[in-house]
Each structure stands twice: as structure tokens, then as C-alpha cells.
């Protein structure tokens, strides 16, 4: 059994250190449930940023503040952490995600495949053998990208999908979520053919920000567990 905590963290875009501190405080509530792995959203602590000026300010190397701090938390509390961040590499900037093991070691680096300039693009899904079996990772729009899906291994126990998805005009929008988005993500998981955990950021102080929520969907497209659209309510699941 694997105990998952899916955390649609409510953040203020660009307030990175404030958002990380909020997660640290949230840990006091999360840890008594003894999660094995915590999954946070795409660009978990900055919000999804794409302007050159923002990338210059907020993108970090793998040994930067965010991963160093999160590795310390993983090691201190004995919990694996998966989250998205803006990665600065020698060749440019990626929309990336990492998996840190219980000792705070970098187990997986995954770079989003279906991205637009000024981002660089990754080439394959993240896949790694862990103490819970084989885990994979895709990010948000990669779940709908045929080339990204083609790189998945169908014998994975679970696919991790950090997201930062919002609606134009007004977000959150519960009616639009039910009408347009929810079934699309469920069908995408069914097409992928592997169980998936999806978690979306909840961006505050912006009308079109990411709309929060989380869900666990099995390989046949059945929703096993779900937190409310428009909320930052953590979703705890014991996954067999």
C-alpha cells in the first residue's frame, strides 16, 4: 500500500519564499497522516510564469533554493516529495518537475515535453523504479500529447501529473469544470492506460489563475478519489 497526499497548494504567484513557508506550515497538518509521497502542482511555488523577465528572476538550477529546501524537508520528515519548478539549465529554461526520495535525494528529473518558447522542451516522460513500484511523471498538457504518451511505460504503478491549469475570464468555474474539463482529464488518463494522480495549483489574487483541486483516476478512467474544484483541500489516498 502507498499513502499519497495530493496537495493543490494555494499560492500567490511570484511569492516563492512565502509559498514555500506556507507549505512548511501545512506539513504540521499533513504529517500525522503518515504519507509516503506528497505530490504538489506544476510550478508549485512560483505559479506558471513564462515572461522572460519572470524566468530570469525565478528559474533556478537543481542545486538552488527550492530543491535544497524541499530536500531538507523530505530528509527531516522521511517523506518523498514530487513538485514542479522552473529549472534553469546551462542551455536555457525548462518547465520541470522532480521527485525527491525520503532521504532528500533527487530520484527523478522530468522536463515538460509540450511547451512553447521561451521554454525548452523535454523529450520523454519521467519513469523510475521506487520502493512502491514503477512511478512515472507527465506535466499538465503532456497528458494530451501523443508523443509524450508514447514514452510512457504501461507497467507503471502510478503516473504523477502536476498541473497549473486555469480558465480564461473567470477561474475557478465549477460549472465549466464539470462541463468541459473534468471528463477530458479522466478520458486522457484512460487513454494513457495507467492509474494517475493529478493535482492542480490554486493561484490567488488573479482572476484567471489555476483552479485547484486533485483527483486519483484508475487505468479504466474511474475516479477513485477527488477534492473539490476551486479548493486547496489536500486529498489523502491509500493506493493499493
Q: Which domains, ranges and CATH numbers included, belong to the chain?
A: 2-239 (3.60.110.10)
pLDDT of 153 reads: 87
Each residue's pLDDT expressed in tens, for the chain with a length of 240 residues: 999 999 999 999 999 999 999 999 999 889 999 999 999 999 999 999 999 999 999 999 999 999 999 999 999 999 999 999 999 999 999 999 999 999 999 999 999 999 999 999 999 999 999 999 999 999 999 999 999 999 998 899 999 999 999 999 889 999 999 999 999 999 999 999 999 999 999 997 787 899 999 999 999 999 999 999 999 999 999 988
Interatomic CA distance for residues 65 and 153, integer angstroms: 32
pLDDT of 43 reads: 98
CA distances from 9 to 41, 53, 126 (A): 7, 24, 22
Amino acid at each position: 500500500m502507498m499513502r499519497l497526499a495530493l496537495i493543490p497548494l494555494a499560492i500567490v504567484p511570484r511569492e516563492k519564499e512565502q509559498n514555500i513557508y506556507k507549505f512548511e506550515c501545512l506539513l504540521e497538518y499533513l504529517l500525522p497522516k503518515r504519507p509516503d509521497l506528497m505530490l504538489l502542482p506544476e510550478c508549485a511555488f512560483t505559479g506558471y510564469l513564462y515572461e522572460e523577465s519572470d524566468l530570469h528572476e525565478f528559474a533556478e538550477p537543481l542545486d538552488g533554493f527550492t530543491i535544497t529546501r524541499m530536500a531538507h524537508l523530505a530528509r527531516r520528515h522521511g517523506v518523498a516529495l514530487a513538485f514542479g519548478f522552473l529549472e534553469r539549465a546551462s542551455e536555457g529554461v525548462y518547465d520541470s518537475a522532480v521527485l525527491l526520495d525520503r532521504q532528500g535525494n533527487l530520484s527523478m528529473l522530468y522536463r515538460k515535453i509540450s511547451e512553447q518558447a521561451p521554454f525548452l522542451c523535454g523529450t520523454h516522460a519521467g519513469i523510475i523504479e521506487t520502493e512502491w513500484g514503477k512511478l512515472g511523471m507527465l506535466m499538465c498538457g503532456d497528458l494530451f500529447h501523443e508523443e509524450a504518451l508514447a514514452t510512457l511505460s504501461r507497467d507503471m504503478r502510478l503516473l504523477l501529473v502536476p498541473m497549473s491549469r486555469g480558465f480564461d475570464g473567470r477561474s475557478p468555474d465549477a460549472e465549466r469544470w464539470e462541463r468541459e474539463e473534468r471528463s477530458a482529464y479522466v478520458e486522457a488518463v484512460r487513454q494513457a492506460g495507467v492509474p494517475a494522480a493529478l493535482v492542480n495549483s490554486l493561484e490567488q489574487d488573479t482572476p484567471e489563475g489555476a483552479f485547484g483541486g486533485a483527483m486519483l483516476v484508475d487505468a479504466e478512467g474511474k475516479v477513485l478519489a477527488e477534492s473539490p474544484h476551486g479548493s486547496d483541500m489536500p486529498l489523502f489516498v491509500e493506493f493499493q
